Amino acid sequence: MSTVAPRRAGVLGSPVRHSLSPVLHNAAYAALGLDGWHYDAHEVDDKALPGFVRTLGDEWVGLSVTMPGKRVALEVAEEATPRAVAVGAANTLSRLPTGGWRADCTDVDGVVGALRAAGGFRPGDGRTAVVLGAGGTAAAAVAGFQELGLVDVHLVVREPARAQATAEAARRAGLDVTVHRWAETDLAALTSTAAVLVNTVPPDAVAPHVDALAAVPCVLDVIYHPWPTPLAEAVTARRSRVATGLDMLLHQAFGQVEQFTGLPAPREVMRDALREATGNILPLPLE
């Protein structure tokens, strides 16, 4: 019989029924011998999140938070890591000894890990990044760029006024940021000197520009369903490597598991579980 005290964790979001986070976390808990631990999904939007969190008992050790609740998650926490503050949002709430919650943004790890392991980026490869879109994933991306040695970031968006939060996240990370209106931007010229491209917008918006975008040495396309995307196909045709949102999901989960359990994440086990759950559509490299 297991001597591990029962513990609970879960992912909050709306919609959340297709989340792959339970696959990752439950595989990790099993590998770590935490037989009394369980992780599941809860349909909770941003308005309901504060009330849901208040109802949780002491058996709850951690929460993963997906859209649309990441900004609210930062607000309900008693403590927050510097990077969560820099991003202005939290995807991770871990229980404090006082019973309150500590907010973090392991989405930053997700972006950095995906660009390094799947995208092949190495420090010294360049100083400039281009990000298509300015939502929550874009904010996490710019917060991680400093760790990669990037200095300049160009945000390309439909409406520059909506990019203010992500631009501020880039400035808090110490980056020089320029915001461009999509309709007025020559993407081929803009990306010609970029070391990294992060795409957070739907495939249809990117499809007319994939030949130019695929020329960037390191590409992260956060869209992975349906796969492959037009951008991924264009990168692959050049015999280059492309990082994906599935790689991001994997790498952000490592930090969550470690914060929830206090133990090293069993990375290979988690990777293999995610591969199996997604029909082995991507290799999901760890190095």
Q: Which of 70, 83, 95, 271 is catalytic?
A: 70
Residues 138, 67: Cα–Cα separation, whole Å: 13
Active site residue 70: yes
Instruction: Give the closest residue to 7 by CA, choosing from 39, 32, 52.
Output: 39
Residues 128, 177: Cα–Cα separation, whole Å: 10
Sole residue written with tokens 């020329």: 215
Sole residue written with tokens 């808990």: 29
Sole residue written with tokens 């070391």: 195
Residues 59, 233: Cα–Cα separation, whole Å: 45
Residues assigned a catalytic role: 70
